[in-house]
Amino acid sequence: MKSAARILGVVLACAALFAAGAWWRGVSWSDVRHWGTPRNVIDTAGETVRIPVADGPASRRLPAVEPGTSGSYDFLFATGGAGGGPVRYDPCRAVTWVIAPVHMPDGLEPVVHDAIEAVSVATGLEFEFEGYTDERVSFERALVQDRYGDRFAPVVIGFENANQNPELAGSITGLGGSSAVPGAYGDDRFLRAGVVSIDFEDMERIIGQPGGSDLARAVVAHELGHVVGLAHVADPRELMHDSNLRLVDWGPGDLEGLAMAGDGGCEAG
């Protein structure tokens, strides 16, 4: 019995030393659980970064949405998501977001919050506002940044004009999207670090006209549709049509697509 106890003590001591050494080298308990499976990495802003491990339990934050409608919708990344289907945000973690307030038109911030809430209701994804950032809005942003800690950067909503971003020239009032990257382990991909860029000169004109707040909200909601993975459609009855001029709310296909966009699988921690 004494020999068995001594052996057990040695094993436990070795395990403790291993755990301490692993912690010292930046190896997490999740890495230990996935021992033998390499942590995925990405190249972002010219730097190779290990994919941050998902925090928290693998259970939805909000109930999945039943659309109850059908129509035209499409996805930016149609395959590769967790559980099959399109690439989507992880419904088990809040989609964090920030505002880059430079050049934000007066009166627009409540409109942005309303648009975020509309997307949350339609997708069943929980969005969490983290305040304001000094990050410059850019689709070339680093996906992991020191200013946000050891995690993917939140969705950033910011404001430019056509001089700063030529893609906003002409009739383009907004741009939106997210990056599709793998989880910490395995082949499933998830949407991360979304960006919404709004032409502040166009938006000042829109929000200043009668009924402008509703149309401004529709512009932001359209770009957030891209952030959660929806692509343009040819049907002008849908808000995700590429040149909406009059709709101020989701169409039936938008709602079907948004419900699917929020019904992905969770990333295991």
For residues 243 and 215, membership in a common domain is answered with: yes
Domain containing residue 122: CATH number: 3.40.390.10
In the predicted structure, residue 1 carries a pLDDT above the cut 50: no
The H or E element containing residue 171 is none
Which tokens sit at 35? 């021992």
Does residue 116 belong to any structural domain of this protein?
yes
Model pLDDT for residues 252-266, shown as the tens digit of each residue: 999 999 999 999 999
Asked if 26 and 146 sit in the same domain, the reply is: no
Pair (23, 106) in one structural domain: no
Angstrom distance (rounded) from CA 56 to CA 62 = 14
Domain extent at residue 28: 2-36
**Same domain, residue pair 20 and 93:** no
pLDDT digits (tens, 9 = 90+) for 130-177: 999 999 999 999 999 999 999 999 999 999 999 999 999 999 999 999
For residues 16-39, give the mean pLDDT: 49
Q: Number of structural domains, the chain?
A: 2
Does the residue 267 lie in any domain? no
- How far is the CA of 202 from the CAs of 98, 159, 205, 241, 259, in angstroms? 21, 10, 5, 19, 30
Query: What confidence score (pLDDT) does residue 37 get?
Result: 66
pTM of the model: 0.86
Shared-domain flag, residues 229 and 129: yes
Same domain? 139 vs 62 = yes
In Å, what is the CA distance from 86 to each residue of 139, 140, 175, 203, 235?
21, 23, 20, 31, 21
32 and 95, same domain (yes or no): no
Q: Are residues 72 and 176 in the same domain?
A: yes
